[in-house]
Chain A
Amino acid sequence: MEALKRNWYKFSESKISVVGLVLAVTFIFLAFFGKYLVPYPEHIGSYVDFTKTSLAPSSKYLCGTDVMGRDIFSRIIGSFRNTLMMGVIVLLISAPVGFIVGVIAGYHKGKPIDTILMRITDIFLSIPPLILALAIASVLEPNLTNSMLAVTVMWWPWYARLSYGVTSSLRTENYIIYAELAGAKLPHIIFKEILPNCLSAILTKMTLDMGYVIIMGATLSFAGMGEQAPKPALGSMISSGVKYMPAQWWFTIFPAIAIMLIVLGFNLLGDGISNMLGTEEI
C-alpha cells in the first residue's frame, strides 16, 4: 500500500502526467465504446448524404461534415478503434520479438550469433524507418493489416537494441553466472533473471512508442496505405482534406487535433511512467 502511494506520488509529481493518463484512458475508452456513444454511428463507414455535404462545425455536427455528408466528429471517434489496434498489435508483436532477438544476442555476446543478429538489426535500423514501412506497405495490398505489418517490421529492432544493451551489461553480473552454474537453462535465465531488469525500460518505451506508432500509422494512411475508404482513418482524412483548404478547413484541422491529443496523451503518460519507474530517458 505504501509502495502504491509512493509510486502514485512519483507519477503525479508532474501534474501533466496525470493529464496524459486521462487523455490516454479516454482514447482507449472511446476506441472500445466510441461507436455506441457518437451521435451518428452510421456515418462511420459508407454513408452518403449529399444534402448535408461540407457543413461547417455546428452544434449538430461538432466537427462539421465532410464531402459525403458524414459527421466528422463521429468518424474521428470511429477511427480510434483501428488506431488503437494498430498501436497495440504492433507493439505486442515487435516488443517480444525484439526482446528475444536482443536477449539472445546479448547473452551470447561475442559469439557469432551475436554478430549475426545484431548486424541484421543494424540493417533494419539503417533504413530510415518511414521509407522501409512505405516500401513494404506499397509492395503489399494497401490495407490496415499490411500497414501494421510494415510498421512492425520496422519497429522491432529498437527493442532488440534495448534488450541487447541491458542483457550484455547484465551478462557479467554474478547472479546470472550463478544461475548458469546451478544448471538453469536459457529460457529460465531469460525470463526469470533478465526480463525483470529489462521490464521497466521496455514498458516505458512501449508507452512512449504508442504515440510514435500512431503517428507512423497516420503517416502511412496519409500516403494512402492504411485503412481504405470508406472506413475512417485519421491520416487519410487529413490527406483527402488538404485539397479543400482553406475553405473547408475543418476537414483537416479536427483529425489533426485528434492525432495531436492522442499522441500527447501517450507521451505524457510515458513520461510519468518513466518518472515512476525511475528509468533514464532514452
Chain B
Amino acid sequence: MDNTQKDIILEVRDLSVSFDVYGSVSHVLDGISFKVKKRERVGLVGESGCGKTTTLKAVLNVLPKNAIVNRGEVLFEGLNVFKMSNAKLATMRRTGAGMIFQDPSSALNPVFNIEKQFITALKYAKPKNTPAQELHEIAIDALNSVMLPDQERIMKSFPLQLSGGMKQRACIAMTIAAGRQLILADEPGTSLDVTIQDQILRLINQLMLDKQLSVVMVSHSLGVIRESTDYVNIMYAGTIVESGKTDDVFHNSKHPYTLALMSCVPKLTGKGISKGIPGRMPDYMIPPQGCRFSPRCPYAQEICHTQKPPHLEISPGHWVSCYFAGEVT
C-alpha cells in the first residue's frame, strides 16, 4: 500500500443496497463511492430519504435484516466490512468506528440507566479484565469532556430523566470514550432544539479537532456542513452527484442538483427566496434507469434518462456525476 492508501481510514466503493419490503424490492443505494482520510471531516449531504443513514449503517454493517447488499465494498482500514471475520468486525465496532444516532431518545435503551449501557459498551472496548473502577472513571471523564456536569447523577439516570441535549451528549461520550478513530455522525442535532443543536454541533467539531478524529457528518443542513467539514459529498436518491472540498463544492457547484440546493438557501444579500426544486424523489421501487436526478433536472437530455452518468473529475479533487458538468451554471 502506498502512502495515500495508508492515509485512508474509510473507503466506500460502488455500494449498492436494496431493501426487501413486503415482497417488493426498494433499490435505495446505487453505486455510492467516497473516501475518508485520517483526521479528515467529510460531509454527506442530502434530502431526507436519500439514503444517508443507510450508508452509515452499511459502514458498521448494522443494516436492518431486510437489507440486501447487491454489490460494492466498504473498506475500513483496508478490510471489507462485509467480508470481515466476526472477530475483526467486533474490533472495528469497538475501537475503530462508531456512530452517533440521529435521535438519542430512541438510541438509548429505556429500561437501563446510562451507567449500565455505557459501562457495558466500554467493557468490550477496553482490554479484558480492566477493573470496573477504571471503566467507571473513563466514563466519567468522557461525560465531562462533552460538558455534562454532575456526571455521577447522569450515570445513574434513566434516559427519560434526561433532556434531549443531555442524551445526545451522553451518546457522543459513549462513542468517543472507547478511543474510536472514525465517527459517523447521523444528523446529530436534528431532533433537538435549534439552540441545542448548535451547541451539540460545536461540541462535536471541537472534539474531532481535539482528538484528531475522522468524521463522516451526515446532514441535510448546508450551513452545518459548511461549518464542520473539509470535504463534502452531495447525495441524491442513493447516488453521489458531486463531491469535493467543501469550499469548492459550495462556491463552484457543478451539478444541477447542487446548484439548485445552493440556491435554496436564503441569503442575507439575497435575491429573495428561490422557487425550490420541482418534482420529488424517485420511487425506489422503480428507480430511473439513467441519472436519478434526470426527471427533475432542467438540463436533462435523452442520454441522462437512459444511461448512468460517469464520474468526472472536473478539477483536482472535485468530482461530478453528470454528462454536462462544467457547462451548467
A and B touch in the complex (CB under 8 A): yes
Contact residues of B between 22 and 64, Cβ < 8 Å to A: 22-23
Interface of B is mostly: loop
A243 on interface, CB distance cutoff 8 Å: no
A10 at the interface (CB under 8 A from B): yes
Report if A9 contacts B (CB, 8 A): yes
How near does chain B come to A2, taking the closest CB pair, in angstroms?
11
Closest to A6 in B: B22
Residues on the A chain within 8 Å of B22, using CB: 6, 9-10, 13
Closest A residue to B23 by beta carbon equals A9
Give A9 to B21 CA distance when docked, in angstroms. Answer: 11
Residues of B within 8 A of A9 (CB): 22-23
State the Cβ distance, B248 to closest chain A Cβ, in Å. 44
Interface size on B, as a range, is: under 10
| Separation of A9 and B22 alpha carbons in the complex (Å) | 7
Contact mask A1-44 → B, CB, 8 Å, 1/0?
00000100110010000000000000000000000000000000
CB neighbours (8 Å) of A6 from chain B are: 22
Determine the interface band of chain A, counting residues with CB < 8 A from chain B: under 10
By a CB distance below 8 angstroms, the chain B residues around A13 are 22
What's the minimum C-beta distance from A209 to chain B, rounded to whole angstroms?
Answer: 27
Interface string of B64-92 (1 = CB under 8 A from A): 00000000000000000000000000000
Q: How far is the CA of A31 from the CA of B23 in the complex (A)?
A: 36
A82 to chain B, nearest CB (A): 40
In the bound complex, CA of A222 to CA of B95 (Å): 65
Residue interface mask B9-30, A partner, CB < 8 A = 1: 0000000000000110000000
Cα separation A10 to B22 with both chains bound (whole Å): 7
Q: Separation in Å of the B190 CB from the closest CB of chain A?
A: 22
Q: Nearest-CB distance from B19 to chain A (Å)?
A: 15
User: In whole angstroms, what is the CA distance A9 to B20 when docked?
Assistant: 13
For B23, list chain A residues within 8 Å (CB): 9
Closest to A13 in B: B22
Give the docked Cα–Cα distance between A13 and B66 (Å): 15
The distance in angstroms between the C-alpha atoms of A198 and B312, with both chains bound, is 55
Q: Nearest CB to that of B21 among chain A residues? A: A6
List chain B residues, Cβ under 8 A from A10. 22
Q: How far is the CA of A6 from the CA of B22 in the complex (A)?
A: 8
A13 to B23, CA, bound (A): 9
Q: How far is the CB of B22 from chain A (nearest CB, A)?
A: 6
**Nearest Cβ on chain A to B283's Cβ, whole angstroms:** 12
Report Cα–Cα, A6/B23, bound state, in Å. Answer: 9
Query: How far does the Cβ of B66 sit from chain A's closest Cβ, in whole Å?
Result: 13
Which residue of B is nearest A10, CB measured?
B22
CB contact list, A235-279 vs B, under 8 A: none
Measured CA separation A10–B23 after assembly (Å)? 9
What would be 5 A-B contacts, judged by CB atoms less than 8 Å apart?
Answer: A6-B22, A9-B22, A9-B23, A10-B22, A13-B22
Enumerate chain B interface residues (CB-CB to A < 8 A): 22-23
* 5 closest residue pairs by CB, A with B: A9-B22, A9-B23, A10-B22, A6-B22, A13-B22
